[in-house]
Amino acid sequence: MSNQGDRPQTAGPDDGPQPPFPLKLDGKVIKGFGRGSSELGIPTANIPISGLSVGGHEDVDSGVYYGWAGLSPSKATHQRPPHAQSDKYSHLSSGLQETLSGIAKDDAELEKGAVYPMCMSIGWNPFYKNTVRSVEVHIMHHFETDFYGSHMNLSILGFIRKELDYVSKEKLIEDIKTDIEVSGRSLAREPYAKLRRDPYLLEFEGKGEVAS
């Protein structure tokens, strides 16, 4: 069990990702377990994976990661582009929201899609006793509508912590909220912030539905 008080403020070296990062993973957004919004108040987008491979790597540890998520164009991305802050999103401090929105302020037109900060879990989620390994992505942004059916390209830039079991849902939520803050501070560093410009994040043509 982790303790929020002794958690590191950021994850990964300050001078940028080190191998095996960045890891790249993409797939179609599908409906997940339905508990992210309803039970935890932290919505997630799920993408299907085949077997245990993540981005072509068989040895990716189960746990929590952070990086950038590219979403194909949709009503959701046009309504709430990356630079649009909202007081309806309460999982990041206002200062950190402002910093991350500022990183996106020079984005070009959104016809190709949009890139958002994300925090994600890879694993079995022992608290809920999943029987399949899953990828659950929390995009650190407020959306007015869902984006099921959109394609998502992930650039995974760092590892935050291993997967844990919890004695209560409240402890799980507390750790997830800390994960989101750590993700935001980690991505705000210049060597990580500049990687949201990776062209791969907005390349959707010819992509399949199952993560690759």
User: What φ, ψ does residue 46 adopt, rounded to 5°?
Assistant: -105, 140
Q: How far apart are CA 169 and CA 202, in angstroms?
A: 35
Residues noted as catalytic: 136
Neighbours of 206 (CB within 10 A): 5
**Closest Cα to residue 44, out of 17, 64, 72?**
64
In 100-136, which positions are buried (b, 16+ CB within 10 angstroms) versus exposed (e)? bbebbeeeeeeebbbbbbbbbbbbbbebeeeeebbbb
Contact yes or no for 146/37 (Cβ under 8 A): no
Tokens of 27: 């797939």
Contact yes or no for 138/184 (Cβ under 8 A): no
